[in-house]
Copies of this chain bind each other. A is one copy, B any other.
Amino acid sequence: MRRSPGRAARAAGRVRDCERRPMPRPCGADPGLRRPPLARHRGRQCPRHETHDRFRRSLVARIAGRVRRFAGSIARRRCVSHAGLDKKLVLIVNKLMSILQETPELPANPPNPVDRAWGKAHPRIATGMHRPVTAMLGTAPYTSPRDAARKPRDQCDDGGDLGRENEREGGFGMHKPTRRTLLSSIGATAGSAAVYRTMDALGMLGPGAAHVATPDLAPGSGEGGHVVILGAGVSGLAAAREMSKAGWRCTVLEATNRPGGRNLTARGGDVLAERGMRQEVCFDPEDHLYANLGPARIPYHHRTVLGYCKEFGIDLEVFTNDNRAALFHDSTRFGGRPVVARRVLTDMRGYVAELLAKAIDRGSLDAKLTSDDKERVRAMLTSFGGLKEDRGYAGTNRAGYQGATVHAGLQAGDVEEVLDFSELLGADFWQYKLHFSHFLNQNPTLFQPVGGMDAIVRAFAERAGHLVQYGCVVLQIRRQDRGVRIVYRDPGGAERAVSADFAICTIPAPVLKDIPNDFSSETQTAIESLEFVEAVKVAFQARRRFWEDDSAIYGGISWTDSDITQIWYPCNGYHRPKGVLVGAYIWSSGPGQRYSAMSGPERLRAALAEGEPLHPGYAGEMECGISRAWLNVPFQNGGWPRTNPDAAATLREGDGPFHFAGDQVTALPGWQEGALLAAHAAAGAIHRQFTGR
Find A69's partner among B3, B70, B287, B444 (CB 8 Å cutoff). B287
Interface-side segment among A101-109, A229-237, A256-264, A558-566: A101-109
A72/B287 contact (C-beta < 8 A), A359-B359, A439-B398, A667-B410 known: yes
Known contacts A146-B617, A156-B620; A383/B119 CB under 8 A:
no
Contact flag A551-B206 (CB < 8 Å), given A144-B618, A384-B435: yes
Q: How far is the CA of A322 from the CA of B426 in the complex (A)?
A: 29
Residues in B neighbouring A411, C-beta threshold 8 A: 645, 648-649, 652, 666-667
Q: Which residue of B lies closest to A431 (CB)?
A: B383
- Residue of B at shortest CB range from A88? B99
| Interface flag for A513 (CB, 8 Å) | no
Q: Separation in Å of the A332 CB from the closest CB of chain B?
A: 14
**6 A-B pairs closest in CB distance:** A208-B552, A364-B364, A19-B77, A359-B359, A206-B550, A80-B100
Chain A residues 280-324 with CB under 8 Å of chain B are 282, 284-287, 299-303, 306, 309-310, 315-318, 320, 322-324
- A127 to chain B minimum Cβ distance, whole angstroms, is 6
Considering only residues 581-608 of chain A, those with a C-beta below 8 Å from chain B are 599, 601, 604-606, 608
- A130 interface contact, C-beta 8 A: yes
Q: Which residues of B contact A68 (CB under 8 A)?
A: 71-72, 74-75
Complex CA–CA separation, A384 to B373 (angstroms)? 22
Distance of A79 from chain B, by nearest CB (Å): 4
Q: Which residues on B sit within 8 Å (CB–CB) of A133?
A: 540, 604, 608, 619, 622-625
Q: Which of B100, B447, B552, B649 contacts A81 (CB 8 A)?
A: B100
A370 to chain B, nearest CB (A): 8
List 15 contacting pairs A-B, 8 Å CB cutoff, sorted by A. A8-B123, A56-B83, A62-B86, A71-B72, A83-B106, A84-B104, A92-B92, A300-B552, A342-B440, A349-B438, A355-B360, A356-B356, A356-B359, A383-B435, A411-B667
- Scan A260-274; emit 1 where CB is below 8 A from any B CB, else 0: 000000000000000
CA distance A48 to B78 in the complex (A): 9
If A355-B368, A368-B358, A407-B668 touch, whether A67 touches B70 (CB-CB below 8 Å) is yes
Query: Provided the pairs A6-B125, A70-B93 are in contact, do residues A667 and B412 lie with their beta carbons within 8 angstroms?
Result: yes
CB neighbours of A364 from chain B (8 A): 359, 362, 364
Contacts of A369 in B (CB 8 A): 355
Give residues 164-206 of A contacting B (CB, 8 Å). 164, 175, 200, 205-206
Shortest CB-to-CB span from A618 to chain B, Å, is: 6
Q: Is A683 an interface residue (CB 8 A)?
A: no
Interface string of A444-457 (1 = CB under 8 A from B): 11010011100100
CA distance A685 to B348 in the complex (A): 41
Query: Are B410 and A666 closer than 8 Å at their CB atoms?
Result: yes
Q: How far is the CB of A146 from chain B (nearest CB, A)?
A: 5
Other A-B pairs, 6, CB within 8 Å; known A373-B422, A447-B574: A5-B126, A67-B89, A122-B577, A209-B551, A380-B431, A398-B438
Which residue of B has the minimal Cβ distance to A550?
Answer: B206
| Residue A404 interfacial (CB < 8 Å) | yes
Q: A66 on the interface (CB 8 Å rule)?
A: yes
A280 to chain B, nearest CB (A): 10
Indicate whether A497 reaches chain B with its CB closer than 8 angstroms.
no
Whether the Cβ atoms of B79 and A104 lie closer than 8 Å is no
Say yes or no: is A36 at the interface (Cβ < 8 Å to chain B).
no
Contact of A619 among B147, B412, B440 (CB under 8 A): B147
How many Å lie between the Cα of A82 and that of B50 in the bound state? Answer: 13
* Bound complex: CA A623 to CA B140 (Å): 17
Residues in B with CB closer than 8 Å to A65 are 75
Among A88, A130, A543, A677, chain B packs the most CB atoms within 10 A around the CB of A543
List residues of A (19-60) whose CB comes within 8 Å of B's CBs: 19-20, 46-48, 51, 55-57, 59-60
- The answer to whether the Cβ of A141 comes within 8 Å of any Cβ in the partner chain is yes
Nearest-Cβ distance from residue A60 to partner chain B, whole angstroms: 5
Is A276 an interface residue, CB under 8 A from the partner?
Answer: no
- Among candidates B96, B284, B649, residue contacting A125 with C-beta atoms closer than 8 Å: B284
Set B85, B601, B667: member contacting A137, Cβ < 8 A: B601
- Looking at A62, A107, A445, the one whose CB has the most chain B CB atoms below 10 A away is A445
